[in-house]
Amino acid sequence: MPLILQVLLFYCTLLFTLSSIPTIIETDIGSDYDDQFALIYLLSRPDLFDLKLVVVSTYNTTARGQIVAKTLAAFNRYDVTLALGRYTENNWPENNIWEYEWAKDYTLEEFQQHGGKVEYDGESALLQELLKSTTTNVYNFIQISPVTSLGHVLKQNSNLNLTNVRLFAMAGSIYQGYVNQTSADIEYNILNNIPGAQLMFKKKWKEFMLASLDCTKYFQFNGPIWQQFLNHSMSKLILDSFKIWYENGGKHLDTLQPYSPLFGTSALHDLLAVYLVINDRNTIISEELPLIITDQGYTIINKSTGMPVQTCLRFKTNESVNEIGAIILNTIINARSECTTIYVNIFLSVFSLFIGIIATFSQQYR
């Protein structure tokens, strides 16, 4: 590669690393499809997220880990550590890891042979990473799972100072529940680990933004934006895993709009938690609410004891979800070519400047 391109590529990578924020994500990827979408979007924004650690939680964390490993490999992100949370009892027989088949041929050993890093004591890896946050090294924590690994860390380290960590979580239901339910529900991430969720909501964070069911149940992409996405070769990663998940059982979920790989997505609850990082006030209506988690698992407002949580309550217009969808799907399509685009543009500008100079000179000497 010519030296000039090497310098530009280095500069471009440096730009990304300088502006992005160290990020940790806790996920139960594999059961619902939205975790996979959230992870792919996150990996498509190296300008925002300097992903350090992915912790997988609940039930068979090896199987979930393989899905993360295969996704990281697709993005050549062997620098990100995969941390396995502890196995938990599967009290949710209906909640199988439907996406596992997509990654079953990619073992954690193979991932490591390719340069990937795996921590088998995921909770201790999580604690070590959280301890790196300081006032000058602020972290993002993206919580899109029952609060299991984080819950154990918080329980065992009650003095852990997380005032330099920004939390973005998919959890809870304030005014609306699942699908047509017009009153609050006990949301799954909370129900699956109520004590963990209570600890997370009591903790003092630098910032806490919540993707609650009130918003996330509307977060489905279909119509022209989905058709355009399917036409693009970069959609293959999503389409392959989405199809397997769908056929293995994912097709039976209740959602507001119908979905299938060729029609559009299921409700992408977790993806909204990642999108909240942008703080897009043009499309999302949120309010700061003092929230607590009751012992039954409800997310309720309590002015005397609740910690302030910036909560997504609805979208600005009926078009907002489509607008966000177009932004996200385009980002995914263009991922992995960002740096190339930058130096192609630089090359074109230098080239046209050069042509301009030649033209000026040839006129002068005519």
Ligand X SMILES: *[C@@H]1O[C@H](CO)[C@@H](O)[C@H](O)[C@H]1NC(C)=O
Query: What residue ranges bind ligand X (CB under 6 A)?
Result: 60, 62-63, 66, 135, 161, 163-164, 179-180, 224, 227-228, 231, 254, 302, 304-305, 317-318
Q: Which does 331 bind (CB under 5 to 8 A by kind): Ca ion, ligand X, none?
A: none
Binding partner of residue 181 among ligand X, Ca ion, none, CB cut-off 5 to 8 Å per kind: none
The b/e string for 108-121 (b: 16+ C-beta within 10 A; e otherwise) is beebeeeebebbee
Name which of 98 and 133 has its Cβ closer to Ca ion. Answer: 98
User: Hunting for tokens 């620098």 — which residue is that?
Assistant: 79
Query: What is the nearest approach in angstroms of ligand X to the Cβ of residue 315?
Result: 10
Please, which residues have CB within 8 angstroms of residue 303's CB and are 6 or more apart in sequence? 290
Cβ atoms within 10 Å, residue 28: 25
144, interface contact from Ca ion, ligand X, none, CB < 5-8 Å by kind:
Ca ion
The one-character DSSP state at 285 is: E
Least distance (Å) from Ca ion to the CB of residue 6? 40
* CB 13, min distance to ligand X, A: 29
**Paired tokens of 54:** 């992915």
d(CA 304, CA 293): 13
User: 54, 144, 211, 213: which one contacts Ca ion (CB under 5 A)?
Assistant: 144
Instruction: Write out 216-271 in H/E/C secondary structure.
Output: HCCCCCECHHHHHHHHCHHHHHHHHHHHHHHHCCHHHCCCCCCCECCCECCCCHHH
- Cβ nearer to ligand X, comparing 5 with 179: 179
Closer to ligand X at the Cβ: 113 or 135?
Answer: 135
Please, which residue, 20 or 257, has the CB nearer to ligand X?
Answer: 257
Helix (H) or strand (E) holding 114: none
CB of 146 to Ca ion, least distance (A): 8
| Cβ 274 to Ca ion shortest distance, Å | 11
213 binds, among ligand X, Ca ion, none (CB under 5 to 8 A by kind): none
What residues between 264 and 283 interact with Ca ion by CB under 5 A? 270
Across 155-185, b (16+ Cβ under 10 Å) vs e yields eeeeeeebebbbbbbbbbbbebbbeeeeebb
All residues at 6 or more sequence positions from 8 whose CB lies less than 8 Å from its CB, including other chains? 342, 343, 346
- Could you tell which of ligand X, Ca ion, none binds residue 214, using a CB distance below 5 to 8 A set by kind? none
The partner in contact with residue 310, picked from Ca ion, ligand X, none with C-beta cut-offs of 5 to 8 angstroms by kind, is: none
Of 189, 25, 31, the C-alpha closest to 101 is: 31
Chosen residue from 26, 35, 99, 123 binding Ca ion by CB under 5 A: 35
Q: Which residues bind Ca ion (CB under 5 A)?
A: 28, 35, 144, 270
